[in-house]
Each structure stands twice: as C-alpha cells, then as structure tokens.
Amino acid sequence: MSDTKSATMIEFCKFSQEEIDEAIEALDTLQRIMVPWFIKKNFGGMGEEDAAQCSKHLMMGKAALILMAEGLSLMKQEDKS
C-alpha cells in the first residue's frame, strides 16, 4: 500500500452481551491500574496529563462497548418481533 493512499478495513465480529460486559470490566480494571501508575512514574513531569489521557481513552473505549451492547440489545429485540 502506498503512503499517499489510505485504506479502510471493516471487520465484522459477533459478540455476546457477556463478552461486552467482560470487556467493560477489563477496561475498568486497567484504568484502576494504569492511572495511578502514570501518576507515580511521572515520566517527564507528565504524570497527571498521561493519567488524564489514559483515563479519557479508556472511557472512550467503554462508551463504544456500551453502544455495541445497546445495538446488540436492539438487534435481539428486532429478531423477536
């Protein structure tokens, strides 16, 4: 692939509600571990900023998972009707 062109790849996967719940829980655990670690290590005096960015990105991931769960729920409701 050329550096001047961009490509979009869409991958379709099936997830169960339980898998999504587990992923959200894993992100919560990761946040509890990583945020204090960034603050403690304070790389280049950026600990607080790194912790805030890490927290923000993990929250974005959780939001995406929650939307996936809502979509899954709606699809199941449609299948029942």
Read off the pLDDT of each residue in 28-53 and give the average, rounded to a whole number: 91
4 pLDDT band (50/70/90 cuts)? Answer: low
The pTM of the full predicted model, rounded to 2 decimals, is: 0.71
SS3 content of the chain, % helix, strand, coil (to 5): 75, 0, 25
Q: Can you tell me the distance from the alpha carbon of 56 to that of 62, in angstroms, rounded to the nearest whole number?
A: 10
Helix (H, G, I), strand (E, B) or coil at 19: helix
1 pLDDT band, cuts 50/70/90, is very low
